[in-house]
Amino acid sequence: MAAVSTKCENNGEASDEYSPKNKKTKRDQENSQGENVKEGDENVLSGFKTTNVLSDSAREKVIFVHGKLDEQNAVVILEKTPIREDTLAEIFAASTLTLDMRNDIYSTYRLQAPPHLNELKATVVLPATEKHVKKYQCQESFLVEETAEDYQAITLPFIQKQSFSVQWVYNILEKKAESERIVFEDPDPKLGFVLLPDFKWDQKQVDNLYLIAIPHQRNIKSLRDLTSEHLPLLQNIFQKGKDAILEKYKLPAGKLRAYLHYQPSYYHLHVHFTNLGYEAPGCGVERAHLLADVVQNLRSDPRYYKTRTLYFPLRADDGLLGQFKEAGKL
């Protein structure tokens, strides 16, 4: 069974793979060996030619644009950067104001901040496949009910054939890419993981802190693969992840949200750590599973996620949704 939402959405976890770091662009080449990119002056977007806007959000101040770059399909994501408390004095003192309206005690202005305080994040996906274009396109969403049998018969065969490559994850684990971004690592091959900022976070304030923990183990695709034998791994990620965040960012465990997505946007198990006060994309109940709950459930039932019915949202153009429809499940 499934329920439809008429809300226009793009994939909330675009984060996990492609959201940007301030003043940098990231080229996603899924089967590449990876490269640590250094900041430079080259404008890689100077030749970008817009084809169409895939989606945009005035609330989140982000736009997803499809076009051509170097004669290849590309997706460019532009996002306004957050206003930081430590820049307020300079914004107030050095900006240019143009009055729009004044009425009694209220007035509104167009404010032009100094260039270095008026930045946009830019993410470049190049070359962008048809999957990427659809991923960021405005779509209806449906809530899918997946039994354990549905997972084996429908979901697992589909993701084995259709899911994005996770070579970029292996590049991180093997230090072939983004090694300078790793903030903590436990190198143990069974219990260890790397912790690094998600590209949605510009790392300039903890209000929207967002980090990803990626285990070194490569045989765990998602929540569905977890059993009680993985409890030591999950507990290690939970405890050492919280400790590392406290040490580096001074954010205590009581202000953290640690969770897993189902369905995830890529099929290598990973844990999200976000500031509890930040409404991160994909943190809603229909997709996010708190890590503390996952641990408790596996303690109560070693095969909890192997047997239970799970619910998750899918976009209208998602091939997995088509498989559920063909199987008569919608």
Catalytic residue among 66, 230, 261, 270: 270
Angle of CA points 241, 208, 224, to nearest 5°: 50
CA-to-CA distance for 33 and 292, rounded, in angstroms?
35
DSSP string, 57-93: ETTTTEEEEEEEETTEEEEEEEEEPPPPGGGHHHHHH
Q: Describe the strand order of the beta sheet including 2-9 as a list of residue ranges.
A: 2-9, 139-146, 310-315
Cis peptide preceding 252, ω within 30 of 0: no
Mapping DSSP onto H, E and C, the string for 181-238 reads HCCEEECCCCCCEEEEECCCCCCCCCCCCEEEEEECCCCCCCHHHCCHHHHHHHHHHH
Q: Does the annotation mark 270 as catalytic?
A: yes
β-partners of residue 60 are: none
Q: Residue 244: which H helix or E strand, with range?
A: helix 231-249
88 sits in the region (left: phi over 0; alpha: psi -120 to 50; else beta) called: alpha
Contact 10, 62 (CB under 8 A): no
Contact 311, 143 (CB under 8 A): yes
Burial class (CB in 10 A: 0-12, 13-18, 19+), 41: exposed
CA-to-CA distance for 143 and 266, rounded, in angstroms?
19
Q: Which two tokens stand for residue 124?
A: 């470049």
| Residue positions annotated with a catalytic role | 270
